[in-house]
A and B are shown apart, each in its own frame.
Chain A
Amino acid sequence: MTNETDLPEAAVRRLEASSFSSGLTVPDFAACLELGLRPVGLVQGFCVMQWGWYGAGSSFMRGMNPYTPSGQQAGGYSQTYRCPHGFVSAEHRMWGQNLEQPWVEAAWESGYGTAYRRMVEEAQAVGAHGVIDLKDRISHVSESSTTEFHFLGTAVVVEDGAPPAGGVPWTTFLAGQRLTKSIEAGFMPIAIVASLASVRVWAYCMTEYLMDGGRGGGPTGPTGAREVDQVTEAHMVVRQLAREHVRRQLGGDAIHGARIDVVQRELSQGDEVLDCTLRGNRVRRFKDYDEMPAPRPTVRLT
């Protein structure tokens, strides 16, 4: 797979076969046919990424110095926290920083996007108009620093329907009844959207003390319950960044069924990495809402 547009030979043979394959359940398959969608093949895309060394001495070690914030990529989020105590000792954390990690985001986007494009390429090879019932999986493979991005979906053709512009199939996580309802409601799937935001928290003295329960008292003495501003801010920002990244992909469309997941890796007291992923179905309205009757409550006698 040196070239993103190359398909493995086995994939070409499989896609050229006269039979079709699909990952749909039987009910979803039936709903798909009722909607006028003809399954043409099971399509997939992979990409295995290695995560490089971002630690001390690497070219990615930016933002470490509070006096040169320009080391951070332009436009990226960065916030510095300064010790309120003055010099205490050489070990005292005089400053801290919350730092967006665009290089991590770019690497994730590259892996996710490449796997997605390869799946779309397979779908194009079978002349599909769309890909439904998409499943994405991100998992570690043999080595701890490698991650595999995997997409699997069922390519479909809209019977008597127009092919998509540029021959690029639309995609959706939905299938079966849920896809049918979406179409009935006037929402046409455009593509799945996903993004990752990554923020590194370098704790300053107050964060370190508070996240360690104020052990030893710290320079300010023991404290009661107190909000940890730096970590709270990082949690809020990482979620905001993920939503901003997704909004940039929407172009005025809507996203339905969004799912937000945050993975938190604690490195030491207060020092942590927050990775937030957001994914969902980008949809575009092709007709106005049909007048719907007010929902009627029912009681089942079962």
Chain B
Amino acid sequence: MTDPGVDAGPHAVLRAEMRKGAELLSVAAPPGKAGGTTSDLTVDEALLLHAAGWAPIDLVCGVTIVSVPFGVWTWGQSGEIGVASDAHGMAVRGAVDRLRAECRRVDGHGVVGVTVEATVRPHHIEVSLVGTAVRPVSKHPAPSAPFASDLSARDFTLLVGAGWIPVDLAFGASFVYAPWRSARAAMAQKMQNIELTNYTQAMYAARELAMERMQQSALAAGGTGVVEVKVSEGPMSFARHAVGFTAWGTAVTLVAASHQYLKPQVILPLDDAVVTFDATSLRGR
């Protein structure tokens, strides 16, 4: 199948390592101690973290479900749906606290690559977080308040290399009722191309409110800024007149004396972009 002569080439080391690995498994392993490292990182990410002086410890989770009282989504009012915004904030904070508690239990210094899933239902809001607890390879004592970050291992490595450290997940949410017009106003504006200023103002204010809350949560956690902010918005599937805005990111702070300029190396790939062929596109689908 393969040419034995190739073993003299650059792949010889790789093949030797493969054989070494196979040799390890050729003898029955002694019964190991219970437990072991679990992580959702890929090999690439684990290597990258290690190169930056960090190691994965354990997969950690945090979940919180908060009830939303009956009637809060009912139209007829205007402005923010305060109870829903509070419920969202409570669910996120509870989930982050549980995630950090699990991180502390395994002596982690923080959690990277946190996957955030937030579901808003008519009567409850569910927030679920999953990430990998990490610690420095040099094993410094674990901090009392480990950080939580939705940055990937790659972005975390880059951030740490630049002298910054994540401190916490920053978040903010705002739910508002779509403003309604009187029948008279609606009829009067029916034939006009005009700005609906009440809509504009309500949406503008709600977006700003969500972002402000995110920024406040970053400041409360001791961050000096927020990176990788993700903003989502849209009407609730069960109440189209209610619109939700959320803003997420990772609060960061500078730990080095000053920002470390990374001096990225500029590279010019000489390969052509891969041309993909999609048969279905020939039929215009």
CA distance A182 to B161 in the complex (A): 24
CA distance A82 to B47 in the complex (A): 49
By size class, the interface of chain B is 35 or more
CA distance A256 to B265 in the complex (A): 30
Q: Separation in Å of the B115 CB from the closest CB of chain A?
A: 9
| CB-defined contacts of A254 to chain B, threshold 8 Å | 36-39
| CB-defined contacts of B98 to chain A, threshold 8 Å | 236
Question: B67 interface residue, CB < 8 Å from A?
Answer: yes
Question: B61 interface residue, CB < 8 Å from A?
Answer: yes
| CB-defined contacts of A256 to chain B, threshold 8 Å | 39, 41-43, 46
Question: B122 interface residue, CB < 8 Å from A?
Answer: yes
Question: B29 interface residue, CB < 8 Å from A?
Answer: yes
Which of A129, A255, A297 touches B265 (beta carbons < 8 Å)? A297
Given contacts A235-B65, A236-B98, A251-B29, contact A258 B59 (CB under 8 A): yes
Tally of contact residues, A, Cβ under 8 A: 83
Considering the complex, which residues of chain A in the window 122-179 have a beta carbon less than 8 Å from any beta carbon of chain B? 129-130, 158-166, 170, 174, 178
Question: B28 interface residue, CB < 8 Å from A?
Answer: yes
Which of B34, B51, B86 touches A294 (beta carbons < 8 Å)? B51
Nearest B-chain residue to A182, judged by Cβ: B43
Nearest A-chain residue to B3, judged by Cβ: A33
Given contacts A184-B17, A256-B43, contact A227 B66 (CB under 8 A): yes
The interface stretch among A42-50, A60-68, A98-106, A210-218 is A210-218
Contact B63–A286 (Cβ < 8 Å): no
| CB-defined contacts of B1 to chain A, threshold 8 Å | 33, 38-39, 159
Contact A36–B37 (Cβ < 8 Å): no
Per-position contact with A for B25-66: 1 when CB-CB < 8 Å, else 0?
111110111111111111110111011100000110111111
- The contact sample of 19 A-B pairs, CB cut-off 8 A, is A34-B15, A36-B15, A36-B19, A37-B18, A158-B19, A162-B25, A185-B46, A212-B70, A213-B71, A225-B68, A226-B66, A228-B67, A254-B38, A260-B59, A292-B47, A297-B158, A298-B267, A300-B267, A302-B269
